[in-house]
Amino acid sequence: MSKTISKVSSFFSKDGPLSAKVDGYKPREAQIEMATEIEKSLKDKSQLVIEAGTGIGKTFAYLVPALMHENSQSITKIIISTGTKALQEQLFHRDLPNVLSALKIGKKTALLKGRANYLCPLRLNQHISHVPTDDPDVLHQLAMVAKFASNTQSGDMADCIGIEEGAKVLPYVTSTSDNCLGQSCPDYDDCYIKKARMKAMEADVIVVNHHLFFADMSVKNSGFAQLMPKADGYIFDEAHQLSEIASNYFGQSVSTRVLLALIKDLRLIYRSELFDMIQLGKAIDKLESSLKDFRLEFPIGSGKGDWCQILKHSGVKFAADRIINDITFLYQVIKLALERSTKIEHCFERCIAFKALLELMFDTNDKGLSYWFETTRMHVSINITPLDVAEKFNALMNKLDASWVFTSATLSVDESLSHFNNSLGLEPKQSLIVQSPFDYKKQALLCLPRYLPEVNSQDMAHALVKVAKLLIEAAKGRCFILFTSYRMMELVAQGIASTVAYPILVQGQTSKRILLEKFVHHGNSVLLGTASFWEGVDVRGSTLSCVIIDKLPFISPDDPLLQAKMKACKQVGEDPFEKIQLPQAIITLKQGVGRLIRDHTDKGVLVICDNRLVTKNYGEVFISSLPNMTRTRDLNKAAEFLSHID
C-alpha cells in the first residue's frame, strides 16, 4: 500500500484524527475500503464506480482522499458534484469543515452554484428603478432582497432570509446565461458570479451540483467562457441521477418562459431608453400575444406529450409559425435600434439564438432523438433529448484528462452495476458494491400487505387510507407516506386528515425544507410526499419509524421520452421493460426505502402497498435489490413491531 493510501487509512483508524472528532467512533472496514479505492483512482486517473450502502459514511470516504490528494503536475483540483443544492450546501457548510478540522490541513475549498443562484446587482437596480409588477408579493420580496444586497459578501440567494427557493422575485434579481451581459456589464466588478468563480479558481476542492456540471460542460462545448475550472479529478455523489440530468443538457430546449423573459428585458429597455420607438413596442406586444396564444393550443394543466404528434395539428403548427414570424419581425426592429442602445445588443443576440432554436424544433427526423413538449399552467417548453447519452458522456470523459469517481447508495440492480455503467458509457477500472453495516434483519421489517386491490383500482385510495390509519396509530405518528402521483397523495391526505390525531404535513403546504423541519420538531408527525421526498431526506432516530410506499415507482407509460427510448430498444431486438423500465423503477424504490434506516440504532417498518411484488415474476428482482429485512404479509405484525419502538 502506498504512503498516501496509508495516510487515508490512518485517518479512519481507531486512534486516528476522526476518532478525536466523533464521540464513540469505531472504524468501519467498508468505509476504509471505499476511501482507499477512491485514492487509488485519483492517483491513477481512472474510472471507479462504488455503490455504498446507507451507513457506510461515504461522504467522509470521498472527502478525505479528495483533500489529501496531491499531484506532481500543476493541477491538483478536485471537483465534487452532488445531486441537489441542499446536499451541496450540507457538504460544504457541515461535512467539509469537519474533515478539514480533523485533518488539520490548509486546503482551500469553494462552493459554486449556477448563475441563477446569485444576486445580480444590475438587474436588482434596474427593477428597483422601474418596478416590474403590481404584485404585492414581488414588491415585498424586492425590498427584502435590496436589504440583503447591502450586507451580503457572497450574493448567494440561499442566504437571503425570507426568500425561499422558487420565490416570485428571483427572476427579477438574478441572471441567466441568456440575459447576463458578461464583461460588458456596468456592474461587472461587483459581480457575485465572477467572485465565486475566482474563488473556485484558487480552491483545491470545489463543490458543485450535477446540473451546474452539465450546464458548464454544454457552455464549454459552445465555446463560451465557463464557470468551473479544469480539475484533476471529478467525484459524483448521488450518481444515480446523472444519466437523466445529462440527457437534458446534451439536448436542446426552448420555452415560452425564456421568450417571455426576453420580452420583459426588452420592455424595460424600451420604457427607459427607447420609448419613442413605437415600432419596438408593437413588435414586443405582438410576440407576447403569439406566445400566450401558443399556450392555448395545448391541454390545460401540467403534462408531457409527443411534439411530433401534436405538431400535426393545424392549430399548433399555425401558432408555432406565428411565433417564428413575430420573432423574425422583432429581430428586424431591434436591428434598427442597435446604434441607439448598448443594452439592447445582448437582447438582439438572444433573439437570433431563440429564432434558430425554434426553427430547429421543426426538423424532427433524427431517430436518435426524442422530440417532446411539456406544459405547466402558464408555459410550454419544446425539448429535443438524445435517447442515449453514453457515447456523449464517454467522449466528455476522454476529452478531460482526469479521474472519475461515481458513488451512490443506489446504483445496482439485482447485485449488478452494469445498468449504471452502460447508461453513461463507463468502462471502470474497478466497480464494487460496499454493503451497509446496518443489521436490517433486526432493525427493520418489510411488510407486503395481503388483500389489497390492484394498484390502478378505484378502491386503492380507500385501501391506502385504512393501511395508513392502522400504522400511524401504532407508530404514534412518525410516518412518511411516499407516493408516485400527486392525485393519490391528495386523496389519502383528505382521507386521514380528520381521523388521525397527529400533525399531518403534505407536500405543497410550504417548502420542502420547512416541512422537514416541522416533521422533526413535532416528533410525531405524518408527512405525505411525492418524488422529491424519495431521496435526499435524512431523518434519524425514532422521529421516523415507518415508511409507507403506495406503489412501485415505474415511470408513466405516457412519458414521451420513455416511449421513444422503448421504441428504439425494440428496434435493436431488446426488451424495453427489462432494459429500461425495470432498472429505473428498482433504483427509485431503493431511494424511497433508504429513508427508513439511517443509523445503527434506528428501527422501523417499511410497507409497500403493491401486489405486483408477489404476483409478478419481476417482483423478486425488486425484493432481491432491497436490503435483507425480515418480511411479513400481516399488517398486524407490522403494527406490533411499531408499537415496541421507543
**At residue 25, does pLDDT exceed 70?**
yes
Mean pLDDT confidence for 446-451: 96
What domain count does the chain have?
4
Does residue 219 lie within any of the structural domains? yes
Higher pLDDT, 513 or 526: 526
Does residue 521 lie within any of the structural domains? yes
Are 525 and 447 part of one and the same domain?
yes
Are 145 and 34 part of one and the same domain?
no
Are 266 and 362 part of one and the same domain?
yes
Q: What proportions of the chain, in percent to the nearest 5, are helix, strand and coil?
A: 50, 15, 35
Are 77 and 211 part of one and the same domain?
yes
Residue type, 599: D
pLDDT level of residue 105 (50, 70, 90 thresholds): confident
**At residue 75, does pLDDT exceed 80?**
no
Are 403 and 487 part of one and the same domain?
no
pLDDT of residue 223: 38
The model's pLDDT over 362-374, given as tens digits with 9 standing for 90+, comes to 888 888 999 999 9
Does residue 404 lie within any of the structural domains? yes
User: What is the spatial distance between Cα 233 and Cα 513, in angstroms, rounded to a whole number?
Assistant: 31
Mean pLDDT confidence for 349-375: 91
**At residue 79, does pLDDT exceed 50?**
yes
The model's pLDDT over 298-334, given as tens digits with 9 standing for 90+, comes to 988 889 999 999 998 889 999 999 999 999 999 999 9
CATH of the domain at 269: 1.10.275
Does residue 617 lie within any of the structural domains? yes
Are 451 and 422 part of one and the same domain?
no
The model's pLDDT over 196-209, given as tens digits with 9 standing for 90+, comes to 999 999 999 999 99
The model's pLDDT over 145-162, given as tens digits with 9 standing for 90+, comes to 999 999 999 999 989 988
pLDDT level of residue 73 (50, 70, 90 thresholds): low
**At residue 459, does pLDDT exceed 90?**
yes
pLDDT of residue 226: 59
Does residue 186 lie within any of the structural domains? yes
pLDDT level of residue 593 (50, 70, 90 thresholds): very high
Are 636 and 535 part of one and the same domain?
yes
pLDDT level of residue 224 (50, 70, 90 thresholds): very low
Boundary-marking domain end, from 194, 214, 233? 194
Are 430 and 558 part of one and the same domain?
no
Helices 29-44 and 58-68: angle between axes, nearest 10 degrees: 40
Does residue 405 lie within any of the structural domains? yes
pLDDT of residue 348: 92
- Tell me the residue range of the domain where 377 lies: 252-386
**At residue 412, does pLDDT exceed 70?**
yes
Boundary-marking domain end, from 406, 434, 462? 434
Higher pLDDT, 74 or 644: 644
Are 53 and 32 part of one and the same domain?
yes
Boundary-marking domain end, from 320, 351, 386? 386
CATH of the domain at 430: 3.40.50.300
DSSP 95: I
Please state the φ and ψ torsions of residue 606, each to the nearest 5 degrees.
Answer: -110, 125
Are 177 and 216 part of one and the same domain?
no
Are 458 and 531 part of one and the same domain?
yes
pLDDT of residue 74: 55
Secondary structure (DSSP) of 308-328: HHHTTSHHHHHHHHHHHHHHH
Higher pLDDT, 121 or 9: 121
Mean pLDDT confidence for 105-134: 88
Q: Is 52 left (phi over 0), alpha (psi -120 to 50) or beta?
A: beta
pLDDT level of residue 222 (50, 70, 90 thresholds): very low
**At residue 1, does pLDDT exceed 70?**
no
CB–CB of 308/366 below 8 Å?
A: no
Does residue 247 lie within any of the structural domains? no
Residue 305: count other Cβ atoms within 10 Å of its Cβ.
16
Are 580 and 445 part of one and the same domain?
yes
pLDDT of residue 9: 85
- Measured in whole angstroms, the distance separating CA 131 from the mean position of its chain's CA atoms is 32
Positive or negative: CA dihedral 403, 404, 409, 410: negative
Mean pLDDT of the chain: 91
For cell 403548427, name the residue.
Answer: 317
Does residue 417 lie within any of the structural domains? yes
User: What is the spatial distance between Cα 489 and Cα 484, in angstroms, rounded to a whole number?
Assistant: 8
Mean pLDDT confidence for 201-220: 88
